[in-house]
Amino acid sequence: MAMARVPLLLPLASLLLLLLSAALAANFDQEFDITWGDGRGKIHDNGQQLTLTLDRTSGSGFQSKHEYLFGKIDMQLKLVPGNSAGTVTAYYLSSQGSTHDEIDFEFLGNVSGEPYTLHTNVFTRGQGQREQQFRLWNNEARGVAFPRTQPMRLYSSLWNADDWATQGGRVKTDWSHAPFSASYRGFRADACVAVAGTGKTRCGASVGTEGAGGAAGDWYNQELDLTRQQRMRWVQRKYMIYNYCTDPKRYPQGLPAECSMQQ
């Protein structure tokens, strides 16, 4: 079984994936709506745990009740154990509309004993195709769009993608292992929350925890120091399996502007 704690650091901070443990618990009943799956998504333990399941008929998914503009969001994910080939557990932030912003984590399943593949993507103003691992940019001053103006909800889903997810679709979902299940706990959002109908945000609240109110957390001015930058580059060198900036066939008109900038 795999356990991943995924902090999403929205704009004004760099995006960082950490495989860690404990986080402060939140009440899923109060913070999330199960949006699809016809009963395959469930909230347990007095609101302290949420599970999504996937079978041959359907997957399932949920979304946050709040929208976030800036902030740090933590969630512990227990990924599908055993033979998870063909499955995708997606965990992402997204605004709405044709010019939406989006920050994606997608955990692609694999056969028993083999590691998950983490794919990331970022959409700005409706444009994606920025797949890579553990890296985000912030070069707005140099003309590269960044998702910082549209409040986004937090979403997650578990679904079948055996046409592409595992080894490019060569390994198919083994439905004899169904139903597959992923579970969630320890949600915390130290964030600027969009206030419905006002166009404004309320910052400094720890959403879903006891410590609401007060000043914004350390995330507000957080940047990667030299040590963390070196760690990020180490991860890229050892574990990056795809980088859109090294795929010129995907961009016949030329690579995106950020690809030519020093990261």
Task: State the catalytic residues.
Answer: 102, 106
d(CA 206, CA 215): 10
Give the DSSP letter string of 166-228.
TGGGTSPP-GGGPSEEEEEEEEEEEEEEEETTTTEEEEEEEETSS--SSS--GGGG----HHH
3-state secondary structure of 249: helix
Output 116-122 pairs: Cβ under 8 A, ≥24 positions apart: 116/2, 116/79, 116/84, 117/241, 118/17, 119/242, 120/15, 122/147
DSSP 97: S
Backbone angles phi, psi at 186, to 5 degrees: 65, 35
d(CA 227, CA 196): 39
Backbone angles phi, psi at 171, to 5 degrees: -105, 120
